[in-house]
Structure 1
Amino acid sequence: MTLIELVTILKSAGYPVAYSHFDSPPALPYIAYIDDESTNFNADNIVYYSVKNPTIELYTNKKDLNAESALETALNDSELPFELISEVYIESERMFQRSYSISVI
C-alpha cells in the first residue's frame, strides 16, 4: 500500500486529511498522518520487506466517539490493523489528539 492509498482510506472517514499538519487548520475534527517509522524485515544484508508504520492522528475539540468510530471503521474496512498509541489533551490548542499506528507492507 502506498501513502496515496492510505490518504484515500483516511478521507473515507469523512474528515479533512493532511500530511503532518495543515497550514490553515480546518474546523475540528480532522486527521493528520506522518510516515515516521519503519520496521523492515532484513535478510542477507538487504531489506527483504519494507514495512512502513505511519502514525495517524485524529484531532477533536472534545472526546468524539463518532469521529473515532468513523476513522477506526475506515481502517477496519480496508483491513488495516491499527494500534492506539495515545490520547492526550493539548491544553494550548484546546483539542484532543488521538494517535494510532498502523503497519503497511
Structure 2
Amino acid sequence: MTLKELVSILRQSGYPVAYSHFDNPQEFPYITYLTALSNNFHADDSVYQKVDTVQIELYTDKKDLQAENTVEQLLNENNLSYEVTENYIDTERMFQRIYETGVI
C-alpha cells in the first residue's frame, strides 16, 4: 500500500483529511496523517524495501465510537494492520486517537 492509496482510503471516511494539519479550524471529527518514521526492511547491508510508518490521527470532541469504528473498518477492509494509542489534549479539549500503520 502506498501513501497515496492510504489517503484515498481515509477520504472514504467522509471526514476532512489533511497531511500534518489544517490551515483553518475544522469541525469534529477530522483526520490528519503524518509519515512519522521509517521501518525499512534491510537485506545484504542495504535497504531492500523502504517502509514508512504513518500516524493517522483522528480528532474528536468526545469519545466517538462511531468515528473510531469508521476508521478501523476502512483499515480492516483494506488489510492494513495497525496499532492504536489515544490521548486527551486538555488544552484543546479534544481526543486524539492515533493509528500507526506502514506504507511503501
2:46 and 2:23 map into 1 onto residues whose CA distance is: 38
Q: TM-score, normalised by structure 2?
A: 0.94
Instruction: Say whether the 8 Å CA contact 2:3–2:103 is kept in structure 1.
Output: no
| Equivalent residue number for residue 23 of structure 1 | 23
1:90 equivalent in alignment to 2:89? yes
Deviations 1:45-76 (A, max 9, x none): 21101111100100000000000000001111
Aligned pairs, how many?
104
Q: CA RMSD in A?
A: 1.0
Q: TM-score, normalised by structure 1?
A: 0.93
Q: Secondary structure at the match of 1:22?
A: coil
Deviations 1:24-46 (A, max 9, x none): 02101000000011111111221
Q: Whose strand proportion is higher, 1 or 2?
A: 2
User: Where does the alignment leave 5 or more consecutive residues of structure 2 unmatched?
Assistant: none
| Equivalent residue number for residue 58 of structure 2 | 58
Deviations 1:58-98 (A, max 9, x none): 000000000000000111111111111x2111111111000
